[in-house]
Amino acid sequence: MVQPFLLEKLTMQTVRVALAQIAPKLGDLQKNLELHLERLERGVREGADLVVFPELSLTGYLLKDQTPDVALALDSPDLRPLLEATGEIDALVGLVEEGQGHRFYNAAAYLSGGKIVHVHRKLHLPTYGMFDEGRDFAPGDRLRVADLPFGRIGILICEDVWHSPNAWLLAQEGAEILFVIGSGPTRGARQETGVTSVPVWHDLLRTTAQFQTAQVVYVNRVGYEDGLNFGGGSIAIDPFGRTIGSIPALEEGWLVAELEGEVLRRARTAYPLLRDARLELVSREMGRIRLERFGLPDPEKDM
């Protein structure tokens, strides 16, 4: 049986999204704020409805001991210029959020009409290879969609999208557009393919778009921090897995992509994956796996 909210919420309107592939300045909130305001002004001039920035776009990535110094509460006056700039255009920005108990989160905030209307805290903090995010941040523990005038959206931050249940859960709650913001570093280069990490990301994002029959917008940063090079390769992909537009790797770039509501409708009609999902089966089997993995007692067997 099709869930009623899916029928009600399949109303996505065509929206023009600007992808801002920038190189934030590490630890410099003021410089990064100025950079954001410049891109928002450009978005207004070019008729975009929304500008999407990369992960930790207001602070830079390799913060380490600077994390508490650049952290912002959501009601911080430092965010006021950015909020004032979203009277004509929306913005999705990356920041260090200071939450209750002075916990610091790698967060994404959606700004519209001078307000913060949605926040996503990064769920999966990588601590392998060159990454050590668990040292500085607390993990988020909520996954929610947001209803906006043009449709229902979900936000994921970098590592989050590599854990496929996250995108699936957002799609099951009705997300029509998945915004993925990243600070993905380069991982080698080949003459025939360029930066090898970029096509890997694109393959993942195309698969995500097709499996969730959703529009996917990925914005990754560029630049250097402490010898680490960030790859860029930002891209917008439609629900059929087709590229709407992309930005080359390694250099700052800008793209206004038009996400069409009718394309989403055609994809979900042709591939009714959301309709056919069996949530009760997934819930039951996940409960069973959880009990087995952690050696917990099965209440049904104990009855």
Each residue's pLDDT tens digit, 255-269: 999 999 999 999 999
Q: Which residues contact 94 (CB under 8 A, 6 or more apart)?
A: 53, 54, 55, 56, 57, 58, 59, 106, 107, 108, 157, 181, 183
pLDDT of residue 302: 62
Rounded Cα gap, residues 239 and 276, in angstroms = 17
Rounded Cα gap, residues 145 and 152, in angstroms = 7
Amino acid found at 259: L
Nearest to residue 43, comparing CAs of 88, 98, 106? 88
Q: Which residues contact 228 (CB under 8 A, 6 or more apart)?
A: 61, 62, 130, 185
pLDDT of residue 5: 45
Please, are residues 121 and 106 in contact by the beta-carbon 8 Å criterion?
yes
pLDDT of residue 299: 80
DSSP state letter for 228: E
Amino acid found at 241: G
Residue with tokens 């229902």: 152
Rounded Cα gap, residues 225 and 161, in angstroms = 23
pLDDT of residue 303: 57
Amino acid found at 2: V
Q: Which residues contact 48 (CB under 8 A, 6 or more apart)?
A: 16, 17, 18, 89, 256
How far is C-alpha 258 from the geometric centre of its chain's CA atoms?
A: 18
Retrieve residue 188's tokens: 């080698």
Retrieve residue 181's tokens: 């913001």
User: Distance from first CA to last CA of the chain, Å, rounded?
Assistant: 31
DSSP state letter for 128: S
DSSP state letter for 185: B
> Block means of pLDDT (10 residues each) for the chain, length 303 residues?
44 95 97 98 98 98 96 97 97 97 97 98 94 95 96 98 98 97 81 75 98 98 93 97 96 97 96 95 95 89 64
* Residues tagged active-site: 55, 122, 158
pLDDT of residue 130: 85
Please, are residues 75 and 148 in contact by the beta-carbon 8 Å criterion?
no
35-64 per-position pLDDT tens digit? 999 999 999 999 999 999 999 999 999 999
Instruction: Indicate the class that CATH gives domain 13-272.
Output: alpha beta
pLDDT of residue 1: 33
Please, are residues 54 and 254 in contact by the beta-carbon 8 Å criterion?
no
- Buried b / exposed e across 182-210, counting CB within 10 Å, b at 16+? bbbbbeeeeeeebbebbeebbebbbebbb
Q: Count how many Cα atoms sit within 13 Å of the Cα of residue 158 in the half-sphere of its side chain.
A: 27
